[in-house]
Structure 1
């Protein structure tokens, strides 16, 4: 087993902070640190996705150590999820969905450079995207704009934190095909990695 991941918890409400710390304190793979210390991952917790909260996400991710950010909110709409990712979040969770195991898995996912978003939020964004596609189509956007169905299916599962082999099994593709699809997306839109691809797709309505 390697060194534990360092993690800090940031919350506007001290009670929310204490609950997250308690949930993670028993995991031997996670070392809790203070917000001002170096952290691989920062968990940012709040009730509403509002401007003050989004500024907190951005400020936490822009700190000297640039931790990967997980946002936990009481609730969030697809549009608010896109705003949180645009502010720098790599992982999104609703408070009623969180338990110690799921939070620990999300920490490991974002620390590894991936992005995870609740599937129903992605479904909402897909609905919004369908309306956007119709709008852009009426304005003469070409057929190569956006993502095809295979690309959307793969990227949705990447957003849900799935590994390449797992995506390949579920979609009946080879792992090489999944890797190629993700690489094609990142190259087409000049993105850095899988997490950036998911963030970009959510932010721009491609997903």
Structure 2
């Protein structure tokens, strides 16, 4: 079982938890762990995104094993998506779209450091602007960083980004790591949300 991605489910409603566990157990690439067990990815299932849910995402990311978080919500507006990513979510799904294959893909993408979101939500996120944020480095993004982040925002994984931009996968990973380190961000999904909010993309 060592090659399987360990995944846990966190839900405020026991019925939602049972449904998510059932869907995840059907994937041959995943191992569902008991609540509170060490997992590489945690699926957080909620009805709506509010402060309590954002606190739950933050607390889940802050757990000892620091799992990546895939947030599955009944209602998920663009502003909610930005807030969830800033709180630490790596993947976003609406419950009606979270069938077994999509949920498994989102978990596997999060485990490999990629972020996922519904295509229409990504399109809305790309046009969403909030109040500008300060750039601690004072230099914004380079053309290369902007190109990589745009493809991350489009839902591309590391290998696909490397192929499209004619970079190595290591270079793409390094670019994303450099952005997250410089801006003190949690992950690549947070980097995309930050860049969008700051008007850097």
Unaligned runs of 5+ in 2: none
Q: Give CA deviations for 1:103-135 in whole Å, capped at 9, x if unaligned.
A: 111111111122222232232222223x868xx
Secondary structure of 2:54's partner? helix
Q: What's the TM-score, normalizing by structure 2?
A: 0.79
Match for 1:196 among 179, 182, 187? 187
Structure 1 pair 39–87 and aligned structure 2 pair: CA distance change class (3 A): same
Alignment size in residue pairs: 194
Structure 1 pair 167–47 and aligned structure 2 pair: CA distance change class (3 A): same
- The answer for the alignment partner of 1:139 in structure 2 is none
Alignment of 1:113-128 (within 5 A): 113-128=113-128
Rg (Cα) greater in structure: 1
- Partners of 1:189 and 1:110 in 2: how far apart? 16
- The answer for the alignment partner of 1:167 in structure 2 is 161
Unaligned runs of 5+ in 1: 137-141
Question: C-alpha root-mean-square deviation of aligned residues, in Å?
Answer: 3.1
1:65 is aligned to 2:70 = no
Q: Give CA deviations for 1:80-111 in whole Å, capped at 9, x if unaligned.
A: 11111111111111111111111111111111
1:157 is aligned to 2:145 = no
Secondary structure of 2:90's partner? strand
Contact kept? 2:113, 2:187, Cα under 8 Å: no
Q: What's the TM-score, normalizing by structure 1?
A: 0.77
Q: Which runs of 4+ in 1 moved over 6 A?
A: 192-195
Secondary structure of 2:194's partner? helix
